[in-house]
Structure 1
């Protein structure tokens, strides 16, 4: 008799062995099916949370990627807009979702690297989100009134230092306001921020001669081409494909001034590595498509290609840079 069943009466031994043997076989037979089911991502609808309104640059980018993911992976990728608090509400929803690959976020950098310096965060972007893939980015254009006697950044800085507190820049958003503050601190100049309710109104203010300087997210591009705003440089780390003739601020001598927003795919921490790897691979292939690049170029975005390690380092560097800018400017959001 099998010693495992020595405690059983003889009449039960054969039945017990048969029963346990059958159960073991059933468990073994079912194991590959369970593993297969767990690995068959996606097998239902995937929700992509966008923490800004429909029609925004982040939303348009998310829908473009979602369309291609749906086609390539055979399951619907559905965008859900969850705006509010500079992207904080939607980003928090992603961070606190079940990490099964069925809730993702397409989130702009401000909600990840700027908000920690401005808000009491209900989650930790570094710990509670997995950076899957950076998609695209755009900087700002530093522009001035065309009648100003400056044609490059060095001349602008010299002009401002001769006139402390006499000139101003348009601040249509937290992002453009802090871009101006970073520029001021790096150059040791005194320029007054004039608040506006949006980046479109700040372009209107430039055209109306209400302000002398603007940090513009390419909304004023037609006016720059028409000579109504003089562009001097871009604030991104590399030159823009939209205005390739313009130098970056780094090239202009301001090595520590990099202001750009990027849009990326994130997943909740704990999402299976196989899902993250598959999604990362699919997104990389999508972003290499000519039609995708052309569509993003129409929004003044440049596709970003970087390794996961480079993306993670970018997040750390940008978080530190914005924290320093907010502290240096003693900047606080209006209550």
Structure 2
């Protein structure tokens, strides 16, 4: 998607550790459920998300399949591929980079979900489906900038697809479904309005970022940006080694994720924190367990420690706290205090 223009390297981004960590954890374990990045204007939200594209590992897909079907996982195949496999036909495969799809604010529902060509269906008797953005984003990343300005009905469509992993399009009695499993990344500026609580709850992690106040760091950021704008390719070359190292680390972490263990005592304490904070539902418990395991895996350990949990629990729970309608999202202090009491 961004192949034609040079992208700012992820490893060159100064500060904003919370946002970078959230994105990395989601790449290691896509089942964490995406990340909502909230922060001031001009703090590098979009730059960081787009920089992630470079680091994404490759996946095995079926050639000529618009849904990036996984040839080895029946749950993640389109009907077209499943039929071929059931009929013992040969399926050609190739590897490709995980894709990142940008959802424009003005997108129509047809553009997002795809459309059925009724004329073809009626005259030729075949199901003709024009895939939309959800099809492109399957097994990849769907990025929505200014998610708090998106139409409510589109938000509902996205959330249904993100929760079920499938997208269904129905027109005049014809129905077509395809897999749509993607990491949903949203960014927004709190000044432009808060998100509905049920929407916030669907994002696995919530990263808050502010403007860097340290003058030295600000100068460093300005200099880096100027150097990149002046000569993007030379700037990228400077960071090539670090980028490759991080890409390899993410790839091996994805392979090892199933071997990481979390002690039942720590699980009990995570649920105790969630119950003490009165968090609705069990998403908070599930996401905290997953994020802690992904962090331990990223740091090359086989067992989760309480330090891992302390690092990720504010990201997992701060947007799930019940709050006074007039206050903005808690910065995570309340979560940390409860954590310290229980651990």
If the TM-score is normalised by the length of the shorter chain, which range does it land in? under 0.3
TM-score relative to the length of structure 2: 0.24
TM-score relative to the length of structure 1: 0.24
Larger radius of gyration: 1
